[in-house]
Amino acid sequence: MNELVHARGLVKRYGRKRALDGFDLSIGEGRIVGLIGPNGAGKTTALKALLGLTAYEGELQVLGLDPVRQRKQLMQDVCFIADVAVLPRWLRVNQALDYVATVHPRFRRERAEAFLATTEIPARARVKTLSKGMITQLHLALIMAIDARLLVLDEPTLGLDILFRKAFYTTLLNDYFDDHRTILVTTHQVEEIEYILTDVVFIDHGRAVLAEAMDTLGERYRQLIPRREHLEAARALGPLSEETSFGRHALIFEDVPQERLAPLGELRTPSISDLFVAKVGGARK
Amino acid sequence: MTFLMLLRRETWEHRAIVLAPAIVAGLTTLLMLAGLVQGRGLSRDGAGLYLVQGLGLMSPERREASLTVLLTGVVPLFLLTMVIVILFYAVDALYSERRDRSILFWKSLPVTDLATVLSKLCTALLIIPLVTLVFIGLTQVLTLLLATLMVWGAEGDAWSLVWRPAPLMSLWTLALYFMVAAAVWCAPLIGWLLLASAWARKAPLLWATLPVVIGGQLELLAFGTTAVYSLVADRVIGVFRVAFRPDIKTLMQVDGDGELQAVATDRLLALIDLPGLLTAPGLWLGLAVAAVFVMLAIWLRRYRDEG
């Protein structure tokens, strides 16, 4: 596996608070990694360190480069969307295309124009006249036309309605992603990106508390709906969490072999959000 | 290519760079047109007659001097506008991208902070003055065209009365020299404004002016002197002192009897004191200070965590 991002023991202090507290991350080429964590867990700080936007302590290489010292070189191969509101309001659509086409050697203008043609964005409109969804489309059009090896998305669909959110990820997957591209994405709406991820990383209190490929997730984490008579036996196996809804219990286990759980009830792979609640919510109690 | 695009970007965001001098040029031209209509400038016995008779009676030197006064009359308004545009541009240049958070978009592209800050410095020091210069030139040509119409109205010879004695080339050379000299002389002020712009989380204009005012007032209270204020004032207007010969004052002066003191064409370019400018210790000291301010601004843009 060609490792694009390599972080070991990243620490970032803001005064006495540690936004990152020994954060580890490894991302291979061609993966789509979801970085998921509660507010204030250090998601944005981790991304900023990766993008050379903030100083840090610890070991970090992105595409084999030092993000702070080799930032210009890094930005040739890395793209990011930091927030929906980030395009300046005075910028015109055609100006944005002119600008990126001139400063970015890997920008393919015809690709951006082809994508924009499928939207309702006027060719010379100013950003301030566009809706929030259109601004995100414009930003995505610019970013997707760049042949970048790593794309970093920080809450890219924040504040958008469900139609735009769906369209955003569909476009990303169909028109952008291939074996040579790698995507790192953070979001609150876990359910919406669950099906596109190849890997998931949970971050809490500045540390990675889980880092797993989606393929192997089901081998390590299992959700058990025990038959009533086996509930106590299931609890004795040390679940990460237990939830009750409509009188039904659902227990999530980590690294408990299938043959020990299967006799007790119905087994399934937990959803990312259930697992997140179990792993992070459990630790917070 | 990238750097040219960075300069274009500045004119997209700060439209006053072109709009402000264009408005001044438009208003000036409108005023001249109004004067022309009111003075019946195009008729045989209108204001044009005074122009033909007045200029016709003058010696060639006086004629040149009169046209110099006519053509430089519009310049102060342009310069005042330019100073205001530069001031507001410079304090906004590294602040607006942080205020609207678009800095993260600009930083997502492979452009260094060095190139970005230098493009803003270059806009303040060279682009804004050059755009102003173009509009000054345009207004002067329009002035001469209107004068031509008036002279024609009174059946005079516009070439010998207006165009030949008008020292356009000398005036433009002088103006270009002034803009470049002023740019290098005022560089530390611009550097300071850019630094305030990169530093302030709010109200960059206040950050730019308050330290000077506080320093000046403290000095006044403690020692009763005004060295701080004098230093800043000299950076604003001192370029006339170091870059020109003292006769510069007579360029547009009218003495008590209404006699024009303007300098004749052949002496216009003699006003330039390039050796004086280049040997002024203040120039090099100022450039060194400007370099420090600009480097600090670059450092801030590069390493400050916007949280």
The answer, yes or no, to whether residue A4 has pLDDT greater than 50, is: yes
**Domain assignment of residue A185, yes or no:** yes
Same domain, A175 and A250: no
Q: Which of residues 179-238 of B touch A (CB under 8 A)?
A: none
Give me the domain span that covers residue A9. Answer: 3-205
Nearest beta carbon to residue A75 from set B101, B110, B306: B110
Task: Single out the residue in A182, A205, A228 at which a domain terminates.
Answer: A205
Tell me what the pLDDT averaged over chain B comes to: 88
Q: What is the pLDDT of residue A85?
A: 57
Which helix (H) or strand (E) segment is A163 a member of?
Answer: helix A162-171
**Domain assignment of residue A273, yes or no:** yes
The residue-averaged pLDDT of A35-56 equals 89
Same domain, A240 and A194: no
Of A178-187, B41-50, B54-63, B125-134, give the range with the top mean pLDDT: B125-134
The residue-averaged pLDDT of B291-300 equals 97
How many Å apart are CA A155 and CA A162, to the nearest integer?
Answer: 14
Same domain, A262 and A142: no
Query: A11 vs A257, which has greater pLDDT?
Result: A11
Q: Among A150, A156, A154, which residue's Cα sits nearest to residue A169? A: A156
The answer, yes or no, to whether residue B266 has pLDDT greater than 70, is: no
Q: What are the structure tokens assigned to A66, written together?
A: 């030092």
Nearest residue on chain A to B9, alpha-carbon basis: A99
Nearest beta carbon to residue B111 from set A90, A103, A139: A103
The answer, yes or no, to whether residue B258 has pLDDT greater than 50, is: no
Q: What are the structure tokens assigned to B84, written together?
A: 């205001």
Is B256 within 8 Å of chain A by CB? no
Query: B42 vs B301, which has greater pLDDT?
Result: B301
Q: Which of A50, A72, A109 to mutate to test the interface with B (most CBs of B within 10 A)?
A: A72
The answer, yes or no, to whether residue B221 has pLDDT greater than 90, is: yes
Q: What is the pLDDT of residue B250?
A: 61
Q: What are the structure tokens assigned to A190, written together?
A: 């876990």
CB A211 within 8 A of CB A35: no
Same domain, A162 and A261: no
Chain B nearest CA to A233, separation (Å): 49
Q: Among B92, B71, B44, which residue's Cα sits nearest to residue B193? A: B92
The residue-averaged pLDDT of A35-47 equals 88
CB A5 within 8 A of CB A65: no
pLDDT band at residue B286 under the 50/70/90 scheme: very high
- The CATH number of the domain where A37 resides is what? 3.40.50.300
CB contact under 8 A, A88 and B9: no
Nearest residue on chain A to B8, alpha-carbon basis: A99
ipTM, 2 dp: 0.88
Judging contacts by C-beta atoms under 8 Å, the chain B residues touching residue A71 are 112
Determine what percent of chain B is predicted with pLDDT higher than 70: 93
Q: What is the pLDDT of residue A24?
A: 95
The answer, yes or no, to whether residue B307 has pLDDT greater than 70, is: no
Same domain, A199 and A221: no
CB contact under 8 A, A82 and B104: yes
HSE value, Cβ hemisphere, 13 Å, CA-based, for A28: 9
Q: What is the dihedral of CA B47, B50, B52, B54, to 10 degrees?
A: -150
Q: What is the pLDDT of residue A283?
A: 57
Angle formed at CA A72 by CA A69 and CA A73, multiple of 5 degrees: 90
Q: What is the pLDDT of residue B97?
A: 93
Q: Which of residues 111-130 of B touch A (CB under 8 A)?
A: 111-112
Q: What is the pLDDT of residue B267?
A: 72
pLDDT band at residue B257 under the 50/70/90 scheme: very low
Same domain, A190 and A230: no
Q: What is the pLDDT of residue B260?
A: 54
**Domain assignment of residue A210, yes or no:** no
| Burial of A119: CB neighbours in 10 Å, binned 0-12, 13-18, 19+ | middle
The answer, yes or no, to whether residue A187 has pLDDT greater than 90, is: no
**Domain assignment of residue A212, yes or no:** no
pLDDT band at residue A97 under the 50/70/90 scheme: very high
CB contact under 8 A, B13 and A88: yes
The answer, yes or no, to whether residue A123 has pLDDT greater than 60, is: yes
Helical ranges in chain B per DSSP H? 2-13, 16-38, 47-57, 60-72, 75-93, 96-99, 103-106, 113-122, 128-153, 158, 168-199, 204-223, 227-237, 239-243, 265-268, 274-278, 281-303
CB B146 within 8 A of CB B35: no
Q: Fill in the amino acid letter for B20.
A: A
CB contact under 8 A, B303 and A55: yes
HSE value, Cβ hemisphere, 13 Å, CA-based, for A180: 4
**Domain assignment of residue A9, yes or no:** yes
Pick from A163-172, A270-279, B37-46: least confident? B37-46
The answer, yes or no, to whether residue A254 has pLDDT greater than 80, is: yes
Q: What are the structure tokens assigned to B246, written together?
A: 């003292």
Structural domain count of chain A: 2
pLDDT one-digit tens code per residue, A218-230: 888 988 888 888 8
CB contact under 8 A, B110 and A105: yes
Same domain, A137 and A242: no
Of A171-180, B114-123, B253-262, give the range with the top mean pLDDT: B114-123
**Domain assignment of residue A173, yes or no:** yes
The residue-averaged pLDDT of B242-264 equals 61
How many Å apart are CA A92 and CA A126, to the nearest integer?
Answer: 4
Is B19 within 8 Å of chain A by CB? no
Task: Single out the residue in A185, A205, A225 at which a domain terminates.
Answer: A205
Q: Among B275, B4, B48, which residue's Cα sits nearest to residue B152? A: B48
**Domain assignment of residue A211, yes or no:** no
CB contact under 8 A, A85 and B101: yes
Is B109 within 8 Å of chain A by CB? yes
Same domain, A62 and A169: yes
Sheet holding A57-62, edge to edge: A17-28, A3-14, A57-62
Is B7 within 8 Å of chain A by CB? no
Nearest beta carbon to residue A89 from set B2, B8, B100: B100
Same domain, A144 and A275: no
Same domain, A118 and A244: no
CB contact under 8 A, B110 and A76: yes
CB contact under 8 A, B110 and A104: yes
Nearest beta carbon to residue B104 from set A71, A83, A99: A83
pLDDT one-digit tens code per residue, B52-87: 888 888 887 788 888 888 888 889 999 999 999 999
Task: Single out the residue in A160, A184, A205 at which a domain terminates.
Answer: A205
How many Å apart are CA B100 and CA A170, to the nearest integer?
Answer: 29
How many Å apart are CA A52 and CA A66, to the nearest integer?
Answer: 8
Same domain, A197 and A277: no
Nearest beta carbon to residue A86 from set B5, B96, B104: B104
Q: What is the pLDDT of residue A103?
A: 95
Q: What is the DSSP letter of A230?
A: G
pLDDT one-digit tens code per residue, A191-242: 888 888 999 999 999 999 999 998 888 888 988 888 888 888 888 888 888 8
The residue-averaged pLDDT of B263-271 equals 69
Chain B nearest CA to A212, separation (Å): 28
Query: A182 vs B66, which has greater pLDDT?
Result: A182
Same domain, A236 and A198: no
Q: What are the structure tokens assigned to B13, written together?
A: 């965001």
How many Å apart are CA A32 and CA B24, to the nearest integer?
Answer: 56
